[in-house]
Structure 1
Amino acid sequence: MKNSASGFCIILILICCFYLGFLIGNLFGTFLNFLRNQLIWDGIILFIILFLFELLNCLIYNRKFINKFLKKIFKNIQLGILLGFFVDAFKIGS
């Protein structure tokens, strides 16, 4: 019984991390106009996003990364952010 409750808590934490990433992805679209006014070139925003995702991928797929639970948390946040970008792109397009 204790093992199933622990598994449920882990799944619940991972789902919350996914939704946190989704929220971050949607909030990015909200603050995009502010960022566009502050930076000279829109490509800088793209480079910053790509750099952050590559840094996160380096952390996730590094073999020396011992904590597998933290690895799953980072991956779920990253997937949520990407899904948030995708959904926000459909909101802009419609």
Structure 2
Amino acid sequence: MFFKKIGESLIRKQKNFLKSFLLSICCFYGGFLGGNLFGTFLNFLRSQIPWDGTILILILLLFEFFNFLIYTKKLLNKKFLMIIKNIQIGVLLGFFIDAFKVGS
């Protein structure tokens, strides 16, 4: 009885994982691409906005708003939250990788 419930739970989790895997990977790579392209468009943003601190504050506020949406789960559905999380993780990883490229 106990092992049957565990087996059913694992099968259900595997099906949910397989349904959302492709969407998660696509959102992650889209965010990663956006994070890497941010350095390319940074010169354009610097010509439009006079202070670099403004750009950083806007990015920080955007990510904090996303975190607010993610952690107050009453507002949105689960699939949209998953999309936001994966895009956010991809963008932050893109920033991190781009920082290594600039530093070397």
Tell me the TM-score normalized by structure 2.
Answer: 0.80
Q: Which range moved further: 79-88 or 30-39?
A: 30-39
77, 88, 103: which one aligns with 1:78 = 88
Alignment of 1:5-84 (within 5 A): 7-84=17-94
Q: Which range moved further: 4-13 or 26-35?
A: 4-13
The structure whose Rg is larger is 2
> Counterpart of 2:85 in 1: which secondary structure?
helix
Tell me the TM-score normalized by structure 1.
Answer: 0.88
Q: Deviations over 1:35-67 (max 9, x none)?
A: 112211110001110110011111111131341
Query: Using a 3 Å threshold, how does the CA distance of structure 1 residues 90 and 71 change in structure 2: closer, same or farther?
Result: same
Q: How many equivalent residue pairs?
A: 92
Q: Distance in 2 between matches of 1:57 and 1:5?
A: 27
Taking only the aligned residue pairs, the percentage that are identical comes to: 61
**Where does the alignment leave 5 or more consecutive residues of structure 2 unmatched?**
1-11
Superposed CA RMSD in Å reads 1.6
**Where does the alignment leave 5 or more consecutive residues of structure 1 unmatched?**
none
Q: Which range moved further: 68-77 or 58-67?
A: 58-67
Q: Which range moved further: 58-67 or 34-43?
A: 58-67
